[in-house]
């Protein structure tokens, strides 16, 4: 393949674009792959239309849920999604057969009409495996966002099917070296075909405020799903240990089901806790620039994009000591006072904390928040993450895609 030649890229995501970390990741790829011809297969509710400036409507192939063909909500990679969803663990044989049939139908149409050179799949899970098993000779690469690994460990009945297809992928992009080792272990995938890519942020939306905010209270902000696995209950408990006259807590994001409802009830009944719901990326940047500390108490993450976005807005961070996170952020940032890591409690089933460990975890979370509230930010704080912009991330991914295509063309 010639250096400056354009590619025909088909993106594949089993859930809604733009609504979760992987959906934001996908939208960023679509933006930075401008100049190439692009198409998209994605799962959405029947009343949602997909659009993107770099996608021609004729090259969007939606799989609609809550329809006669698929009479249930979009199936989500996490058990708690920020919108109404179905869990993979709840699929019976008929639902799974309908799900596969619906995605295969759009896959066949996309192949016939768009004729991609290469396919970019999201999540090392069912749809990625299905695509590769259906078109084994077409170059396919996949992005591991972490939740595929979690589902593989929880839903062992899918393991054989998932691994069989994913092993045939030309390349896998991992978020960190820790995640790379997990992929090697659980998918028996060759080490030399895994590319540690990391994640990125949008420089145009996430940047420091022009002036340092000065207020009577220290504003804490969390952004993510309102779910137990994200540590939001523990964050609310930790907030109870802080002086309400000195601190505010802003919760950005949404969720469904009993957990999300309980979180909303606690938030509404607690002084100085504010719910923002789902916001645009632009609005999120504005909120970050009006706050003082970003807190991510999650018990399980791939590599959270929102950490980068908060840091790019100049916020110091209090975060769980998540596997692979320190290696991804780098020594300079991790050794600074701008970030505090809180040791995780013991976990059951990947993302469920041992109840007896939670009081200590919540005490440590509150302590870390107090410590960060009293530090002076490094003047070079945002310099540490400049190389993690989406422009740089995409450039690395594009080099891999073109190398795979060039190798594929030589074997034709």
CA dist 280 and 190 (Å) reads 38
Q: Which residue has the tokens 């970030």?
A: 339
Question: What is the pLDDT confidence band of residue 383, given thresholds at 50, 70 and 90?
Answer: low
The CA–CA distances, whole Å, from 158 to 1, 102, 126 equal 36, 18, 8
Write out pLDDT tens, residues 105-130.
999 999 999 999 999 999 999 999 99
Residue 136 shares a structural domain with residue 244: no
Helix (H/G/I), strand (E/B), else coil: 191: helix
The pLDDT of residue 255 is above 70: yes
Q: Are residues 96 and 122 in the same domain?
A: yes
Query: Quick one: 172 and 257 in the same domain?
Result: no
Asked if the structure places residue 212 within a domain, the reply is: no
Nearby residues of 71 by Cβ (< 8 Å), 6 or more positions away: none
Residue 320: per-residue pLDDT:
96
Residue 409: left if φ>0, alpha if ψ -120 to 50, beta else—which one? alpha
Question: Are residues 75 and 31 part of one domain?
Answer: yes
CA distance 346 to 334: 23
For residue 87, pLDDT over 90 is answered with: yes
372 located within any domain: yes
Once rounded to an integer, what is the mean pLDDT over residues 66-93? Answer: 93
Q: Which two tokens stand for residue 136?
A: 């084994």
Sequence-distant (≥ 6) Cβ neighbours of residue 223 within 8 angstroms = 252, 253, 284, 294, 306, 309, 310
How far is it, in rounded angstroms, from Cα 231 to Cα 286? 24
Kindly state whether residues 231 and 165 are assigned to the same domain.
Answer: no
CA torsion sign for 121, 127, 129, 130 is negative
**One domain for residues 49 and 70:** yes
Tokens representing 20? Answer: 């979760």
| Domain identity same for 185 and 222 | no
Residue 378: its pLDDT value, please?
60
Same structural domain, 255 and 186: no
Tens digits of per-residue pLDDT, 154-193?
A: 999 999 999 999 999 999 999 889 899 999 999 999 999 9
- What is the share, in percent, of the chain residues with pLDDT greater than 70? 95
Q: Is residue 3 part of a domain?
A: no
Calculate the average pLDDT of the chain: 92
For 198, half-sphere exposure in the C-beta direction (CA atoms, 13 angstrom radius) is 21
pLDDT(377) > 70: no
The band of 2, judged by pLDDT with boundaries at 50, 70 and 90, is low
Asked, for residue 251, whether it belongs to a domain, the answer is yes
Beta bridge partners of 339: 317
Instruction: Give residue 76's domain range.
Output: 8-200+389-410
- Identify the residue with better confidence: 18 or 344: 344
Does 355 lie in the same domain as 263?
A: yes
Q: Could you tell me where the DSSP H helices lie in 298-339? A: 305-312, 325-329, 331-334
For residue 1, being part of any structural domain is answered with: no
163 and 229, same domain (yes or no) = no
pTM for this one? Answer: 0.80
Six token digits for residue 101: 């049939």
Q: Is the pLDDT of residue 304 over 80?
A: no
379 pLDDT above the threshold of 60: no
My answer on whether 114 and 263 are in the same domain is no
Give the CATH number of the domain where residue 105 resides: 3.40.50.2000
CB 390 within 8 A of CB 203: yes
Quick check: is 54 in a domain? yes
Q: Is residue 207 part of a domain?
A: no
pLDDT, tens digit (0-9, with 9 covering 90-100), for 222-247:
999 999 999 999 999 999 999 999 99
Count: domains in the chain: 2
Same-domain pairing of 154 and 259 = no
Phi/psi at 47 (5° precision): -100, 10
Residue 206 lies in a domain: no
pLDDT band at 412 (very low <50, low <70, confident <90, very high): low
């Amino acid at each position: 393949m010639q250096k400056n030649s354009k590619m025909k890229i088909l993106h594949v995501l089993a859930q809604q674009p733009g609504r979760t970390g992987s959906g934001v990741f996908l939208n960023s790829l679509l933006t930075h792959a401008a100049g190439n011809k692009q198409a998209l297969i994605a799962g959405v509710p029947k009343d949602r239309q997909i659009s993107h400036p770099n996608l021609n409507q004729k090259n969007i192939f939606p799989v609609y849920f809550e329809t006669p063909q698929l009479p249930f909500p979009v199936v989500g990679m996490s058990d708690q999604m920020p919108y109404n969803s179905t869990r993979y663990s709840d699929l019976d044989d008929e639902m799974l057969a309908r799900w596969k049939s619906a995605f295969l139908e759009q896959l066949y149409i996309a192949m016939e009409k768009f004729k991609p050179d290469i396919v970019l799949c999201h999540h090392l899970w069912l749809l990625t495996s299905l695509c590769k098993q259906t078109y084994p000779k077409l170059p396919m690469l996949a992005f591991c966002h972490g939740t595929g690994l979690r589902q593989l460990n929880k839903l062992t009945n899918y393991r054989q099917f998932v691994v069989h297809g994913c092993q045939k992928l030309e390349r896998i992009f991992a978020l960190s070296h820790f995640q790379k080792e997990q992929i090697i272990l659980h998918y028996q995938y060759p080490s030399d075909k895994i590319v540690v890519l990391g994640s990125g942020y949008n420089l145009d939306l996430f940047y420091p405020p022009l002036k340092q905010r000065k207020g009577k209270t220290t504003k804490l902000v969390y952004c993510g799903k309102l779910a137990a696995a994200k540590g939001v209950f523990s964050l609310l408990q930790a907030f109870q240990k802080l002086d309400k006259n000195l601190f505010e807590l802003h919760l950005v994001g949404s969720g469904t089901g009993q957990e999300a409802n309980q979180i909303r009830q606690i938030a509404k009944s607690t002084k100085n806790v504010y719910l923002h719901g789902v916001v645009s990326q632009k609005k999120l940047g504005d909120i970050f620039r009006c706050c003082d500390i970003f807190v991510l108490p999650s018990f399980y993450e791939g590599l959270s994009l929102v950490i980068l976005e908060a840091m790019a807005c100049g916020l110091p961070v209090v975060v769980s000591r998540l596997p692979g996170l320190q290696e991804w952020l780098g020594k300079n940032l991790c050794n600074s006072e701008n970030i505090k890591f809180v040791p995780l409690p013991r976990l059951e089933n990947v993302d469920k904390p041992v109840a007896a460990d939670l009081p200590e975890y919540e005490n440590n979370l509150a302590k870390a928040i107090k410590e960060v509230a009293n530090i002076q930010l490094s003047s070079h704080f945002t310099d540490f993450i400049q190389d993690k912009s989406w422009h740089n991330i995409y450039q690395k991914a594009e080099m891999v895609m073109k190398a795979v295509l060039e190798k594929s063309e030589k074997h034709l």
